[in-house]
Structure 1
Amino acid sequence: MDTHLLIKIVHMTGASLACLAVFVRAFTLFKGVQGNMPNPAMRTLFVALQHGAMTLIALTGIVLLWMKNFDAEPWFYAKVILFLVLLSSLGKAYRKDDSMLLVQRRAGLFIAAGSLAAIIVLIMLKPNFG
């Protein structure tokens, strides 16, 4: 099997795991919340799944970009910015700070879900911004 194809499959698997992790971890902001903090049940597993998936996406994405000699389409830069928005908003939603209101955490989750949906749309459409 071609190395590029193999890394692309691993990258897409990481993206699927990330979608699953964001979706499953979202329930912790709606069920079993304790004050302004998310539900602590299975927190370690969800955090590990989300961090592992995001790390896998970033590493395989960098390798794929390197394999293409850093020749990227214009929509790729929008995807990178949306990925950074995704990471930032997830960090805001699940921060270990009790002073953040639950509504702020849910807003961070909503922004993360929107950026994840936008990334998927960008990948499917591959628009030409030029």
Structure 2
Amino acid sequence: METQLLLKIIHMTSISVLLVILLARGLTLFKGVQGNQPNPAGRTLWVTLQHLSVTLIVVTGIVLLALKDFQVETWFYAKIILFLVMLSSLMKAYRKTDSILLVQRRAGWGIALVALLAIIALVMIKPSFG
């Protein structure tokens, strides 16, 4: 199998896994919460899977960019910004401090979910700006 195709398959699978993890981990903000903290059940597993999928997305994305000689379309920059928004929202939503209210955690999770869905839509539509 061609290297670029294999990397694309790994990249897309990682994105699908991240979407499932994001949805499943979001349930911890709605069921079994303890004060302002999400449900601690399975926290280590969810964090591990989320970090693994995000790492695979970043590594395969960089390798795919290198294979394309870093030539990108204009919508790619929007995708990168949305990815950073998703990461920062997830960091806010799941930070281990009691100073963040549960409603703020839920909002951060919602923003991350919308950003990931927007990234998927951008990739599917591939709009031409300009």
Identify whether the pair has TM-score above 0.5, normalized to the shorter chain: yes
The equivalent residue for 2:107 is 107
The whole-number CA distance in structure 2 between the counterparts of 1:114 and 1:8 is 23
Quick check: 1:46 aligned with 2:50?
A: no
Give the whole-Å Cα distance in 2 for the aligned partners of 1:95 and 1:6.
34
* Structure 2 CA distance for aligned equivalents of residues 88 and 64 of structure 1: 24
Aligned length: 130
**Cα deviations by residue, 1:27-73 (Å, 9 ceiling, x for unpaired):** 00000000000000000000001110001000000000000000001
How far apart are the structure 2 equivalents of 1:11 and 1:100?
32
Runs of 4+ in structure 1 off by over 6 angstroms are: none
Asked if 1:69 corresponds to 2:69, the answer is: yes
Name the aligned partner's letter for residue 9 of structure 1. Answer: I
5+ unaligned residues in a row in structure 1: which ranges? none
Q: Which residue of 2 aligns with 1:87?
A: 87
1:16 lines up with 2:16 in the alignment = yes
**Displacement, 1:117?**
1.1
- State the alpha-carbon separation in 2 of the partners of residues 15 and 100 from structure 1: 27
> Partner of 2:31 in structure 1?
31
Same amino acid, percent of matched pairs: 65
What residue in structure 2 maps to residue 78 of structure 1?
A: 78
CA shift, 1:99, in A, is 1.1
Matched AA of 1:62: I
Q: TM-score, normalised by structure 2?
A: 0.99
